Copies of this chain bind each other. A is one copy, B any other.
Amino acid sequence: MSSFTSTTRGKMNNAFDPRNLGELDSATRELIARRQRLLGPAYRLFYAEPLELVRGQGTLLFDRDGLDYLDAYNNVVPAGHSHPAIANEIARQAATLCTNTRYLHESILNYAEELLPTFGGRIAESGHLMFTCTGSEANDLAVRIAKHHTGHRGIIVTSEAYHGNSELTASFSPSLGEHSPLGAWVRRVPAPDSYRISHEHMAAWWAERVAVEISDLERRGEGLAAFIADSMFSSDGIFSQPVDLLAAVSSVVHRAGGLFIADEVQSGFARTGERLWGFQRHAIDPDIVTMGKPMGNGFPVAGVAMVAEVVAGFGRDTRYFNTFGGNTVAVAAAQATFDVMRQERLLENADRVGRVLRRGFSELAARYPVIGDIRGAGLYAGVEIVSDRDSKQPDGTMASRIVNGLRRRRVLISVTGAAGNTLKIRPPLVFSESDAGRLLGELEGVLGEVGR
């Protein structure tokens, strides 16, 4: 299966298929029917048996019957579900003041002052931080700024990239499926498939792919505004190595006058262990960094950090105002989350427990040949499922059986990649060694049932 092929309308990895409604219990059927009627046809549910959740705590989620599920998927709550200190801070600020960035408030400045240095490079030196509510808004704003700065429109992404749900960001999010239109000014490069392409010359080969697309954009009069990627290539299948890829691309992009946008919505905020930001594993100095999901431990807050120079013209010619973006409660949530992240040493935990997990996957791989490859960094792991290790043929059906088998055993993960055959494990950053043990034990159980 080519990484450029996706043939199902409105497809989504690990989505519930409404044709299987008849197999569910009556309470779940009724909820789904209500949802269809009230929320309409554009929503999707996870799993063959969708899950109703009523409570969360730490790495656990609970259903209506009080059964606990180990959450090995939801990165949105890095500090764990319902973290009391963060919930308290949100409550305190919501009961004190909720106003926007057109009034002065110290908290947003204190937060920006703490966060900007963490990016290193030019952003740490003299960069700016802007606030939105969602990662989609962050990427939309980043590309607006890039287009204004460069005067060009072309965007280059990886073949199965996902960068957002606004019209602009959906236009360069091929993973939304072939019936979601891509912009004429969007070019795709293959995913850096480290399982199938030799690492040795990969960076040069990949940079050359980007250069070819830049030439094409220039030939069409578009020029390059930006290359945008997340350093873990989340929707392409999670590729964590080699880490010299982005530096090579960054040079090519800069030579063409384009900007390098590091989409850290998924890979940022300690997710990949070692360093706070995923792009730092690649030792690059991006022009713009976007962030979102884990920033407020579930509170809608996101942001865009950038080198000062790239936003100067945009700030002169227009303005940016987001009613809720960077409001006092959003900043309180973000500050509390960042504080907890440091106090509870979540970066170190991600690094340590991530290694435990990957070691466990390797041990399982020795016994279960459906595991073709194990990738990842920190608490972001991809386990690629294949029908045959020699041909490396993706096995999306088997991956789906594993994910749904785990869900029946009350462990929550999902799948990713063009063929939906890579297990996506991306737990809250408080995931413990004991949690890792539970995940590995249940995975072994499922593999024993379905994985030969």
A106 touches B40 (CB 8 A): no
The 4 closest A-B pairs by CB, nearest first: A41-B315, A40-B128, A91-B91, A98-B298
Who on chain B is nearest to A109 by CB? Answer: B34
- A interface list, Cβ under 8 A from B: 9-10, 12, 28, 31-32, 34-35, 37-46, 50-56, 61, 74, 76-77, 81-82, 84, 86-88, 90-91, 94-106, 108-109, 112-113, 116, 126, 128-130, 133-137, 140-141, 143-144, 165-168, 170, 176-177, 179-180, 292-293, 297-301, 306, 308, 311-312, 314-325, 327, 329-330
A166 touches B140 (CB 8 A): yes
A144 touches B170 (CB 8 A): yes
A104 touches B136 (CB 8 A): no
Closest chain B CB from A109 CB (angstroms): 5
> Given B39, B105, B112, which contacts A129 in the complex, CB threshold below 8 Å?
B39
B31 touches A322 (CB 8 A): no
B292 touches A323 (CB 8 A): yes
Who on chain B is nearest to A104 by CB? Answer: B52
B53 touches A103 (CB 8 A): yes
B87 touches A44 (CB 8 A): no
Q: How far is the CA of A346 from the CA of B315 in the complex (A)?
A: 38
B100 touches A82 (CB 8 A): no
A40-B306, A167-B168 given; 5 more Cβ-contact pairs under 8 Å? A35-B109, A40-B311, A45-B104, A53-B97, A53-B104
Closest chain B CB from A408 CB (angstroms): 16
Contacts of A316 in B (CB 8 A): 9-10, 41
B134 touches A322 (CB 8 A): yes
A96, A102, A112 interface centre (most CB from chain B within 10 Å): A102
A39 touches B112 (CB 8 A): yes
Closest chain B CB from A195 CB (angstroms): 27
A319 touches B10 (CB 8 A): yes
A104 touches B140 (CB 8 A): no
B38 touches A116 (CB 8 A): yes
B109 touches A300 (CB 8 A): no
B311 touches A42 (CB 8 A): yes
